[in-house]
A and B are shown apart, each in its own frame.
Chain A
Amino acid sequence: MKSYTKYLGKRVLYMILTLFLIASITFFLMKLLPGTPYSNQDKLSEEQIFIMNEKYGLNEPIIVQYGIYLLGLVTGDLGTSFQFNNTPVAELLSSRIAPSAQIGIQAVVVGTILGIVLGVISAMKQGTWVDTTATLTAILGRSIPNFVFAVLLQLIFGVWLGWFPIALWSGFASSILPSIALAISPLADSARFMRTEMVDVLSSDYVELAKAKGLSKWEVAFKHGIRNALIPLVTLLGPMAVALMTGSMVVENIFAIPGIGEQFVKSILTNDYPTIMGVTMLYSLLLVSVILLVDVLYGIIDPRIRVATEGGE
């Protein structure tokens, strides 16, 4: 247990290092950008620019600005947006987290559960048409770009059938289509992963033994198969988080949802650097936390991995 605490401490240290690195990269890349934050510089006198720079701390040497920026990050101050009415970035983003989180979580939960079901069925019915259909679904889900899929959903269920709101955010009903669009990628990934794992587990010795004991096929699958196949599924959480971030930028834009992804795209297109940096840090924090969570969970779920060895994986 002591070695585990040590391992955990090391992981947290790396997490902080990663975040520091990302913060530094974003800061210096932003300083490399050409141009000034003022859109009407020609009309401003030198004094006005000086006063403005003074106000936003832009007259300080870069290294001091860097220090101020890092200090701000620690205290949750992400600066002020250039474009959206001088709103503090932290405030701008926090008002938008709820919709993004809602569709993101719905997508992961629904997608993963459906994916597991699909994967298990196709592993149990290996080589039949059920397997072929499930595999085909997974491949289509992985291959068709999510923006194409989102537009299709919007067209069919929003415009033609009129079952769900076409766009905008007005509660649960409007979260359904975006959630489905986002769920496709976790669904395809987990179905594929689950099938491989199940096929592996089903051919292992303890499953043979369980069969020999006279358990039925599905009993074996539920009691021995799925439990063991589920463990490695945890490792998919990291890639899923990444897919959700990219996905949400597209899906939120198509469905006009006031979330983080939509804000990010808007900020990119309007050169709103403080907001871009804020979202960057938010995404990085999310990803790094998910990676840490996966490592910790994995150690807890599977006792065989608890002894973290140096170097080897």
Chain B
Amino acid sequence: MVSNNNFQPEQSLPELTPDLFAKADSLDVQDNEKITAPSLSFMQDSWRRLKKNKVAMVSMVLLIIITLLSIFAPVIAPHSPNAQIIEHANLPPKIPGLDISGLNGTVNQNGIRLDKYEQTGVESDVYYYLGTDSLGRDLLSRILYGTRVSLFIAFVAALLNLIIGVTYGLLSGWIGGKTDNVMQRILEILSGVPNLVIVILMLLVFDPGIMSIIIALALTEWISMARIVRAQTLKLKNQEYVLAAKTLGQSSLSIAFKHIMPNLLGIIIIQVMFSIPSAIFFEAFLSFIGIGIPAPDASLGTLINDGYKTFRFLPHLMWYPSAVMSIIMISFNLLADGLRDSFDPKLRD
């Protein structure tokens, strides 16, 4: 409280009244002393740096759009992905209002452009934006649903791989000693097993389908996650703040999850981001060699495989799903690269 009791107005000074003064808030005073920028948490800081990386941000936006499109595939898809209209088979792409060869429903036959839609007697108000396959199914709808399947498999496999890998690595590194030794020897043996072989064997034994592919991928992909998490845990375990927490009597388990885990977050996120495109690729690979998702459902991989069979005559059936898949893979890789850079403490400015 500022008091003006002893103040004697002598000259022409303006009169001081109590309402000219404000209470000095203790926090305000401290703030005046502060010369640093607001302190950012690790995540905020990384996010700030990621935002500066235009390539990564564009990839992220693209991925969000693609993910949303695939989630809402049932609403967006112009046709049913599995409805077969034999009369509409093998139609080229036709987009309303676009009169560019290749996208207006015409094909080049012996040097003459023929309107395939007219030829096969398709009503003039029916459009297949990306054409149809040999069973008359709309390619655009199939790609939307296929992306949905591919992304679903990749996300769930990455999630399972995250849960198994992080738990295993954290326990192994945190408990240490004999347990760690045994767990590491198990990992060492498992890492010699080619994933490819195990996945293929599992798909032969179990019925092929989305679930068995997810399980096979999750069972084989967690090893590198476990290794990275363990190595990092070993490093973090001897930090002062862990010692402080121990001294304060926190239980071992709560230290592991409350103090070690948040510090592993960056590495875990990067690892997950890299595991998603590899899962997408692996699923596509399995579909391509013919042991993927059974018909009539399709993933991007099965679509590419189907398209490959006729690609000399109907190249669009292969190129469109391939393009979508490539865009997804490129975006994931670029975003993961960006995340790795933004999480790297060495680059912090």
Residues of A whose CB lies within 8 Å of any CB of B are 14-15, 17-19, 21-22, 25-26, 29-30, 32-33, 139-140, 142-145, 147-148, 151, 155, 159, 242, 245-246, 249-250, 253-254, 265, 268-269, 271, 276, 280, 283-284, 287-288, 291, 310-313
Contact = CB atoms under 8 A, between A and B. Distances in A.
Contact of B194 (A17, A143, A265, A287): A287
Contacts of B311: 151, 155
A242 B192 CA distance: 10
A283 B194 contact: yes
A313 B202 CA distance: 32
B196 interface: yes
A246 B181 contact: no
Given A18-B189, A143-B277, A246 B196 contact: yes
A136 B281 CA distance: 19
B330 A143 contact: yes
Contacts of A287: 192-194
A151 B308 contact: yes
Contacts of A253: 289
Nearest to A265: B289
Contacts of A311: 180-181, 184
Contact of A283 (B180, B197, B325): B197
Interface in B297-325: 304, 308, 311-312, 318, 322, 325
Nearest to B327: A143
Interface bracket on B: 35 or more
Contact of A143 (B180, B189, B308, B329): B329
B188 interface: yes
Given A142-B333, A147-B304, A148-B322, A14 B281 contact: no
A247 B282 CA distance: 11
A51 B337 CA distance: 61
Given A29-B202, A147-B285, A313-B231, A269 B192 contact: no
Nearest to A273: B204
Contacts of A15: 192
Given A143-B330, A250-B285, A284 B180 contact: no
Contacts of B152: none
